[in-house]
Amino acid sequence: MKPASLVIRNGQYLNKDLNWIPFESIRVEHGMIAAIDGKDEPSSDQLIIDAKGGHVIPGLVDLNASLREPGDSRSGTIESETRAAAAGGVTHLCCTPDTQPINDSKAVTKLIKEISEVSAHCQVLPLGAMTKQLEGRQISSYAALGEAGCIGLSNGTTALNDLLTMQRCFEYANTQDIRLFVTPMVPELYQGCMHEGTVSTSIGLKGIPALAETIAVAQMIQLADQTGVRLHLSQISCAGSVSLIQQAKEAGLNISADVTLSNLLYTHHEVEGFDSLFHCHPPLRSDSDRQALLEGIKHGTIDAITSAHRPLEEAAKQRPFAETEPGISSLETLLPGAQLLDAKGELDFITFIDAMTRRPRKILGLTVNEIQENEPANLTIYDGSEERLLLPEHFYSRGKNSPWMKQKIKGRVLGTICEGKLTHWPETHPSA
């Protein structure tokens, strides 16, 4: 039975001025924030959530997450991965088109939305494929994908084959007024398994140079300038890319960008032990790149932070490093990761929240969600004080491929409310 109302007690919430405000109660009714510290009449069908003195923030918005369904149910399903998202504090996410079949048609988009309506634990916003089968050759039907409900179009984790195809994609997207979410890659240079640098040389693994990204960024910026397309550069990883994006924004181009949390936390030195959990695309790069990415987030050159969640079955990470599949299962450790960056003095926790709430909402054209009365109730309740050992059985995601696995982490999402519905609650969390 659904409770008549939810009441959160004993915490502090982030207000529209990005300040922490202590509160006694936040009451949610009919999908909306009904009252903050208002008169509360307890009832038998009212659910009380104890925030334990923790933080209540707007629900996180993730611009890049692979849900695997339809297709690869061994690695994940819409149910399992959105449940993981809710456990990580995410209320809205963009799902990448790398499903089986590829989300390059109205029928596949419709299927994703139908499954999501039944089983999703957060709002699923599909990204359609820019090209048929994500092969970088034949352009998909952008009009049909937009009509079916795709919030944007993406090349997933594959490179576009040539500049002519890219130009046509940009021109077509502009005529349809739909944003492109493009991971910049030059296919001829994107052939290794880690960052090309001192570490790749010393351990003998083939590297991916920064040029494999920065050349593509420069090309896409020029094409965006010529075509007028709304361009979002996904998963930026290099200092050179940050500089190019800054110049483009200063020139007035309609460009946005995101970075993965993994690229803010780690560098290529993590690969020295050949731990395949650190095999990801884009690769973990040098510390100078990492510092440039952090500065980009602080100054707004990079707009958003994303999980780039890619769940994989266990066998995918059990071969020699170069032969393993790239990807990190990262939805459930977003806020502990943010807390770690804050503790190191590298990125303020509130700046992280802004980069996963207000900024991505603006990119997607969604109304900015504030914690105030008469606003939609998209809320995350986070306790940063709890320290715990993270084990595979604590993950909702079917992908256990997380560098945090079997490590002590600090922080836990106590509850997530999406459009007024409680989608994560500690009583449903695996025991830890």
Asked whether residue 48 falls in the same domain as residue 170, the answer is: no
Asked whether residue 114 falls in the same domain as residue 206, the answer is: yes
Helix H or strand E encompassing 386: strand 379-389
Asked whether residue 269 falls in the same domain as residue 408, the answer is: no
Asked whether residue 342 falls in the same domain as residue 407, the answer is: no
The reported pTM is 0.96
Q: Are strands 304-306 and 255-260 parallel, antiparallel or unpaired?
A: parallel
Asked whether residue 37 falls in the same domain as residue 152, the answer is: no
Last residue of a domain, one of 326, 346, 364: 364
- Report whether 333 contacts 311 (CB < 8 A): no
Spatial separation of the C-alpha atoms in residues 157 and 282, rounded to whole Å: 9
Asked whether residue 97 falls in the same domain as residue 50, the answer is: no
Other CB atoms within 10 A of residue 117 CB:
10
Quote the domain boundaries for residue 241.
Answer: 59-364
Q: What is the dihedral of CA 421, 425, 428, 432, to 10 degrees?
A: 160
Asked whether residue 305 falls in the same domain as residue 405, the answer is: no
Asked whether residue 98 falls in the same domain as residue 191, the answer is: yes
The tally of domains found in the chain comes to: 2
Last residue of a domain, one of 316, 333, 364: 364
- Report whether 182 contacts 155 (CB < 8 A): yes
Asked whether residue 110 falls in the same domain as residue 49, the answer is: no
Asked whether residue 157 falls in the same domain as residue 243, the answer is: yes
Last residue of a domain, one of 334, 364, 394: 364
Tens of pLDDT, residue by residue, the chain (432 residues) = 456 689 999 999 999 999 999 999 999 999 999 999 977 666 667 889 999 899 999 999 999 999 999 999 999 999 999 999 999 999 999 999 999 999 999 999 999 999 999 999 999 999 999 999 999 999 999 999 999 999 999 998 888 888 999 999 999 999 999 999 999 999 999 999 999 999 999 999 999 999 999 999 999 999 999 999 999 999 999 999 999 999 999 999 999 999 999 999 999 999 999 999 999 999 999 999 999 999 999 999 999 999 999 999 999 999 999 999 999 999 999 999 999 999 999 999 999 999 999 999 999 999 998 999 999 999 999 999 989 999 999 999 999 999 999 999 999 999 999 999 999 986 543 333
Give DSSP secondary structure letters for 315-364.
GGGSS-GGGSPP-B--GGGHHHHHHHHHHTTSS-HHHHHHHTTHHHHHHH
What CATH number did the domain enclosing 27 receive?
A: 2.30.40.10
Amino acid letter, 380: T
- Report whether 56 contacts 357 (CB < 8 A): no
Asked whether residue 213 falls in the same domain as residue 344, the answer is: yes
Asked whether residue 74 falls in the same domain as residue 107, the answer is: yes
Give DSSP secondary structure letters for 176-195.
HT--EEE----TTT--SSEE
b vs e for 291-319, b when ≥16 Cβ sit within 10 Å of the residue's Cβ?
Answer: ebbbbbbeeebbbbbbbbbbbbbeebbee
Q: Are strands 123-129 and 90-95 parallel, antiparallel or unpaired?
A: parallel
Strand order across the beta sheet in which 304-306 lies = 60-65, 90-95, 123-129, 152-154, 180-182, 231-233, 255-260, 304-306
At residue 183's C-alpha, the angle toward residues 182 and 186, to 5°, is: 115
Spatial separation of the C-alpha atoms in residues 424 and 84, rounded to whole Å: 9
Closest CA to 76 of 293, 401, 412, 427: 401
